[in-house]
Amino acid sequence: MFNLLKNLFSAPDRSEFKEIMKNKPLLVDVRTREEFQGGSVKGAVNIPLNTVSKDLRRFAGKGNIVVFCRSGNRSSQAKIILDQAGVSKVYNGGSLHNIQNLLKQN
């Protein structure tokens, strides 16, 4: 039970994330369209949290998927939705700032 909760709410450690980012994951910004239009990371797609469960087809057949938002709260919720829908290799990237920093390091 603890491992299930850990997988749902925690992010991989920094070295794991660096590896994930090297392999060009699908970057999904789950903020609102307005927030996304204000700036995101290069190559990210915008699938707002309130549409994730309706847009599951956009995740089908993808390799690693990294979801992120402003603070990490909505991305955590998106990961839970995707995990429950059977989408694999989904990682909570936390905040936009965190993803920007990870991309700078690669």
End-to-end CA distance of the chain: 34
Domains and CATH numbers, the chain: 2-105 (3.40.250.10)
How far is the C-alpha of 86 from the C-alpha of 15, rounded, in Å? 25
Predicted confidence (pLDDT) at residue 1 exceeds the cutoff of 60 = no
Residue 102's pLDDT band, with cuts at 50, 70 and 90, is confident
Strand 26-29: give its sheet, edge to edge. 45-46, 26-29, 65-69, 90-95
Greater pLDDT, 9 or 69: 69
- At position 27, the amino acid (one-letter code) is L
User: What is the C-alpha to C-alpha distance for residues 23 and 86, in angstroms, rounded to an integer?
Assistant: 21
Among 11-20, 23-32, 72-81, the least confident range: 11-20
41 against 12, higher pLDDT = 41
Q: What is the pLDDT of residues 44-100, one digit of tens each?
A: 999 999 999 999 999 999 999 999 999 999 999 999 999 999 999 999 999 999 999
CB 101 within 8 A of CB 93: no
- Give bridge partners of residue 28 from the DSSP assignment: 45, 67
Q: What is the pLDDT at residue 68?
A: 97
The answer to pTM > 0.85 is: yes
